Amino acid sequence: MSIPWKIKLILSLISPIRYLCFRSNFTINRSLFNFFDRKTPPSPPSSHDVIVDPSRNLWFRIFNPSATDNGGSDDLPLPFLDSSVGILPPVADLTRCFLAGDSAGGNLAHHVAVRGSGFKFQRVKLRGVIALQPFFGGEERTESEIRIGNSAPCLTVEDADWYWKAFLPNGSNRDHPAVNVFGPESAEISSSELSDSIIVVGGLDPIQDWQKRYCEGLRKAGKEVRLLEYPNAFHAFYIFPELPEYSLMMNEIKDFMIHQLKKIT
């Protein structure tokens, strides 16, 4: 494992904070957590926030690529997007949409894509799914979970189990279809019109076997998948742009997007 010492230091500061905020009864001390997890405010005109449902504190942030070098937008609920006029900047082209997410966001991207495939969009056209180390799991202990166990930086098997307990409804286990997407309780997806996807997997991530099974599951269901494997990458490595895998990954994603946009669908 050749992780630069600066990154090791930052990682060693993050985990005690997590253990302070995460309780043994699988709840989170939110006020304490939010103190460490400061939200960056939007910076108009290059970014602004739109509230979808104040009762659920559901909102998203629009990044305007014509006003900044950092293009992209996140957390857009698809049917909302389809019927929204005047919310997005004029430069936004709804026929060139990608769903992207990292970790839990990669899991969400998959589930949004599956739900979106059953929705008749008037304007939105989904061109691909970008899942960076998507957070999947299951009851079974995979080879990578056993081998890497609790020795991995950033995410251990114990952490993953804690997250699932906090997330799952009472009475469910990790074979719940939100977790084990190709597991015993999951619905068949081969008839869904899912977009092509690119999936990033790290060799130091204990949940990598679940991500590889996800690729296999998609391929078996007849979907097109690009799998990128970085042997020296730990879970959430891309929060450190100085790691060489970061630039490699960004170039691959760019290539995937250009390829998908050229495809006649």
Of 20 and 51, nearer to ligand NAG (C-beta) is 20
In the annotation, is 103 catalytic? yes
* Contact yes or no for 129/100 (Cβ under 8 A): yes
Smallest distance, Å, CB 127 to ligand NAG? 41
- Report CA Rg, the chain: 19
Smallest distance, Å, CB 168 to ligand NAG? 11
Nearest-angstrom CA–CA distance, 159 and 165: 10
Of 179 and 249, nearer to ligand NAG (C-beta) is 179
Smallest distance, Å, CB 30 to ligand NAG? 8
Smallest distance, Å, CB 32 to ligand NAG? 4
Residues 73, 144, 196, 235: which is the catalytic one?
235
Residues binding ligand NAG (CB under 6 A): 23, 25, 27, 29, 31-32, 170-171
In the annotation, is 48 catalytic? no
Nearest-angstrom CA–CA distance, 47 and 85: 17
Residues 73, 103, 144, 195: which is the catalytic one?
103
Of 29 and 247, nearer to ligand NAG (C-beta) is 29
Of 34 and 70, nearer to ligand NAG (C-beta) is 34
In the annotation, is 111 catalytic? no
Of 23 and 219, nearer to ligand NAG (C-beta) is 23
Alpha-helix residue ranges (DSSP H) falling in the chain:
5-21, 30-36, 78-83, 104-116, 143-148, 157-167, 208-220, 244-262
Smallest distance, Å, CB 207 to ligand NAG? 25
DSSP for 20-63, please give it: HHB-TTS-B-HHHHHHHSPPPPP-TTTEEEEEEEGGGTEEEEEE
* Contact yes or no for 171/32 (Cβ under 8 A): no
Nearest-angstrom CA–CA distance, 123 and 60: 19
SS3 assignment, position 101: strand
Find, among 208, 65, 200, the residue nearest to 73 by Cα: 65
Q: How many residues does the chain have?
A: 265
* Contact yes or no for 126/98 (Cβ under 8 A): yes
Residues 102, 159, 205, 209: which is the catalytic one?
205
Of the chain, the end-to-end C-alpha distance in Å amounts to 42
Smallest distance, Å, CB 34 to ligand NAG? 10
In single-letter form, the type of residue at position 243 comes to: L
Of 25 and 57, nearer to ligand NAG (C-beta) is 25
Annotated catalytic sites, by residue?
Answer: 103, 205, 235
